[in-house]
């Protein structure tokens, strides 16, 4: 198989390729809402996956999601792993278990078929690790390679998590560090160190399964995964859905350190600026925070971590058991959805 640099075939990569949030919101708000008596949650609530009541099974619901994007790494197998981990994350963000998935593939005619095989094998690796199976899919010829999954999972009806429901006094736990969007931009520019690139890949290929499994014994009031709309964007959705304000503790937020350096160099993805333009009106920041630090908070993450809102006692115990940091707290609704304390 000849050497191929997948990232040179795309303009934007990973979750940074998402449509700008303002444009997407404008379109979604213009659509008529479709209803079904068994549809518990759809896109109108900004949850990570739809929730469908199973009329023949009283205690279970079906969770379904779909996600795909262009490559953010050059290695086809790693790309498949990252894209699959990112799609599977939506099921974990709802508190569910992965069961079946379908491949979604756009593949250029100019690439050799072993490249496609490696992408699919990477996806299979992560779905198998999740305890699920890939049972088919759909492929089209396209000059820009893209890969992802449609994923179906299940959960007990009384154990489904939502991105609303965060309660005043809750503490917030984040299960992965931020900064992979900035690092991926530096990699594409040929300016990232091997160490930084490896940190980003290790984060993006790590499933949120263990974080979800460790949280199941606790009472999770609200949950979401941090992807293309950044920590600020997904935290804002949680705050708005919960009619609360989320206060983030800047010193406690985990960041891949090289991301701060690269951001200060101007190696920021376009999606970061789209996120900032749409979201900064909802944010009140400490004046002591550096521009680079604030940039990381708006950085579009690919296969990012879970943001969990738990009671203080549960959050402390969960953090102690897993090592995941407590990064904020839920307060009564103020003038801004998000406050960042220095």
* DSSP H/E element including 65: strand 60-69
Task: Tell how many helices (H) and how many strands (E) occur in the chain.
Answer: 11, 13
* DSSP H/E element including 112: none
The answer to whether residues 291 and 170 touch, using CB atoms and an 8 Å cutoff, is: no
List the structure tokens of 275. 């996120």
Provide the 3-class DSSP secondary structure of residue 18: coil
> Exposed (0-12), middle (13-18) or buried (19+): which is 234, by Cβ within 10 Å?
buried
Provide the 3-class DSSP secondary structure of residue 272: helix
Residue 43 is classified by DSSP as G
Residue 122: closest CA among 76, 65, 180: 76
The answer to whether residues 302 and 184 touch, using CB atoms and an 8 Å cutoff, is: yes
Active site residues: 15
List the structure tokens of 261. 């350096």
Q: How many CB atoms lie within 10 A of CB 14?
A: 31
């Amino acid at each position: 198989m000849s050497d191929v640099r997948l990232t040179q075939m795309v303009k934007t990569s990973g979750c940074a390729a998402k449509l700008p949030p303002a444009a997407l919101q404008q379109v979604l708000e213009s659509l008529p809402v479709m209803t079904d008596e068994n549809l518990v949650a759809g896109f109108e609530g900004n949850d990570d996956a739809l929730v469908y009541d199973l009329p023949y099974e009283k205690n279970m619901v079906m969770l379904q999601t779909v996600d795909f994007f262009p490559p953010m790494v050059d290695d086809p197998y790693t790309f498949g792993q990252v894209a699959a981990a990112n799609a599977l994350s939506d099921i974990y963000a709802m508190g569910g278990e992965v069961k079946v998935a379908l491949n979604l593939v756009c593949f250029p005619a100019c690439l050799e078929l072993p490249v496609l095989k490696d992408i699919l094998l990477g996806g299979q690796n992560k779905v198998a690790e999740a305890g699920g199976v890939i049972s088919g899919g759909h492929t089209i010829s396209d000059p820009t390679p893209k890969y992802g999954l449609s994923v179906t999972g299940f959960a007990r009806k009384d154990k489904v998590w939502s991105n609303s429901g965060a309660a005043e006094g809750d503490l917030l736990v984040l299960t992965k560090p931020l900064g992979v969007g900035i690092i991926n931009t530096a990699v594409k520019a040929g300016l990232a160190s091997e160490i930084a690139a490896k940190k980003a890949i290790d984060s993006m290929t790590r499933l949120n399964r263990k974080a979800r499994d460790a949280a199941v014994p606790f009472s999770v009031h609200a949950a979401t995964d941090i992807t293309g709309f950044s920590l600020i964007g997904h935290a804002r959705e949680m705050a708005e859905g919960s009619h609360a304000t989320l206060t983030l503790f800047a010193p406690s937020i985990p960041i891949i350190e090289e991301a701060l350096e690269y951001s200060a160099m101007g190696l920021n993805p376009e999606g970061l600026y789209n996120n900032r333009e749409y979201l900064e009106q909802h944010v009140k920041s400490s004046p002591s925070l550096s521009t680079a630090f604030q940039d990381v908070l708006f950085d579009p993450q690919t296969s990012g971590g879970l943001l969990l809102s738990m009671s203080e006692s549960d959050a402390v115990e969960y953090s102690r058991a897993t090592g995941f940091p407590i990064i904020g707290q839920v307060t009564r609704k103020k003038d801004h959805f998000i406050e960042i304390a220095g």
